[in-house]
Copies of this chain bind each other. A is one copy, B any other.
């Protein structure tokens, strides 16, 4: 019997089979949980079916947690766990609580002294870093860069500074339809000794993780329009 804890359950990043990106252990755990806090009910259902075709979705309870959820509704979601039943957190892609609302409910669980158990799964941040060849002893993930042009170029300057002064790899993402504009701006504004790693469709059939100097990229800018991509900068 699975112990009562808040299990953080990663999902795939791409259309690859689950056994490519998730340990069997995760599938076993999922099968023993009846209450799930999810970012999107439909895709969570799809994921659970993929884990186990024979799973009876109708016996499960889903609590939706996304930007529309009021924070005062978070604590009530944990009632089953407070009552001694295991619960799962499932986000839209990758690892829950890394770049999604899952972190809020984990924080509440922690504040109540409830057990939290993260499970192993794919992270585009970590896999991008592994594949980049950049410094993995010091790195920062910044999420989305500012949209405002002034703020954005200030952010890029700050990243350059931290690469040079702190030997810290800088990792970030962009809204996919703005990818091309971002890459062009980076390659034009960053000094020649800065390297850019572009990691697209990680774990997917079109996976590409390529590191080049910014001036080298400038010679042949890739088309990343609407392609899920993570960007890494270092020297």
Contact = CB atoms under 8 A, between A and B. Distances in A.
A177 interface: no
Interface string A16-39: 010111111100000000000000
17 contacts: A8-B131, A19-B24, A22-B23, A97-B133, A97-B136, A98-B129, A99-B137, A100-B136, A103-B133, A107-B134, A108-B133, A110-B133, A116-B131, A116-B133, A118-B209, A125-B126, A138-B140
One complex includes copies of this chain to the number of 2
Contact of A23 (B23, B110, B207): B23
Contacts of A135: 103
A20 B95 CA distance: 16
Contacts of A139: 140-141
A120 interface: yes
Interface string A148-176: 00000000000000000000100000000
Contacts of A116: 131, 133, 209
Contacts of A117: 131, 207, 209
A157 to B, nearest CB: 15
A121 interface: yes
A222 to B, nearest CB: 14
A132 B6 CA distance: 12
Interface residues of A, number: 59
Interface in A98-117: 98-100, 102-104, 106-111, 116-117
A146 interface: no
Contacts of A109: 133
A126 B98 contact: yes
A136 B103 contact: yes
Contact of A123 (B21, B111, B126, B207): B126
